[in-house]
Amino acid sequence: MTAKKVLVIDDSIMIRKMVKSILAGKYEVLEASDGKSGLDAARRTFPDLILLDFVMPKYNGYQTLQAIRRVEGLQKVPIIMISGLKEQVTEHVSEPFTEFDFLEKPFEADALVSRIQNFLAPEPAQPVSAATSRFVPVVPRQVQHVEEPSLQMIVNKLTATETLLVQGIENLVQREVVARFNELSTRIDHQDKAIATLTQRMEKISEQIDHQNKGLMMILRELKSLQNK
């Protein structure tokens, strides 16, 4: 059976590789580093599910979502929006989210897999008819030795910790970038207001100088007329 395709659209290479590692062996994972290339990849591959970051260059997650929904054949593909800045998502789309599912960063590997399986659950096996079952030999069930899960539990715990750490770092960087950008925007806004105020003052000074020049010209004309007399 061909593995179902999951397209991961995220500008962070760390997140993309992390998701690919989590889904390895379960799904065929495709990658795109921004909204524009993600849209192109979706048009080209028609994935079964799209994991879409919200804060990205070129197109943000919501712009990418809208563009994907306009493509014939992609209107109903499940989309899971992921972001550590939920407030930015709600600025564009109010809750409850109906156009997409939402998974907040940082998320654990099990939570991601569970959310994807909600949309891409395997089809139930077809029941075997009575006529067919008569010819199926009964094979005695063999008792298999079950190894102690301690080592696997440790590996899973380390993987989950690494996953949360990577996302936590990405989330902190993302929040810092957004905070600096907002601070810069505020400064630019204040500078624009200061420039506008300065421009108004200069215009008033220019009007006063022009008015004074006209007064001086009148005085000069009066002086010339007196000299001529």
pLDDT band at 221 (very low <50, low <70, confident <90, very high): confident
Q: Choose between 144 and 202: higher pLDDT.
A: 202
pLDDT at 135: 42
pLDDT band at 209 (very low <50, low <70, confident <90, very high): confident
74-102 pLDDT, tens digit each: 999 999 999 888 888 888 887 888 889 99
Q: Which residue has the tokens 């192109």?
A: 40
pLDDT at 150: 61
pTM: 0.57
3-state DSSP helix/strand/coil % of the chain, to nearest 5: 60, 10, 30
pLDDT at 229: 65
pLDDT at 40: 95
Question: What's the sign of the alpha-carbon dihedral 68, 73, 75, 79?
Answer: negative
User: Would you say 43 and 70 are in contact if contact means Cβ atoms under 8 Å apart?
Assistant: no
CA 85 vs CA 101, 106, 153, 200: distances in Å: 15, 10, 31, 40
Burial of 154 (0-12, 13-18, 19+ CB in 10 A): exposed
Q: Which residue has the tokens 């957004």?
A: 178
Q: Which of 22-31, 47-56, 102-111, 158-167 has the lowest mean pLDDT?
A: 158-167
User: Would you say 15 and 61 are in contact if contact means Cβ atoms under 8 Å apart?
Assistant: no
At position 68, the amino acid (one-letter code) is I
Q: Choose between 52 and 142: higher pLDDT.
A: 52
Average pLDDT across the chain, whole number:
79
138-160 pLDDT, tens digit each: 444 554 544 455 665 565 566 56
User: Would you say 16 and 46 are in contact if contact means Cβ atoms under 8 Å apart?
Assistant: no
Exposure string over 29-64, b if 16+ CB within 10 A, otherwise e? bbbbbbbbbbbebbeeeebbbbbbbbbbeebbbbbb
pLDDT band at 72 (very low <50, low <70, confident <90, very high): very high
Could you tell me which of 19, 100, 13 has the C-alpha nearest to residue 54? 100
The residues with which 53 forms a beta bridge, in sequence order, are: 82
* Residue 207 reports pLDDT greater than 50: yes
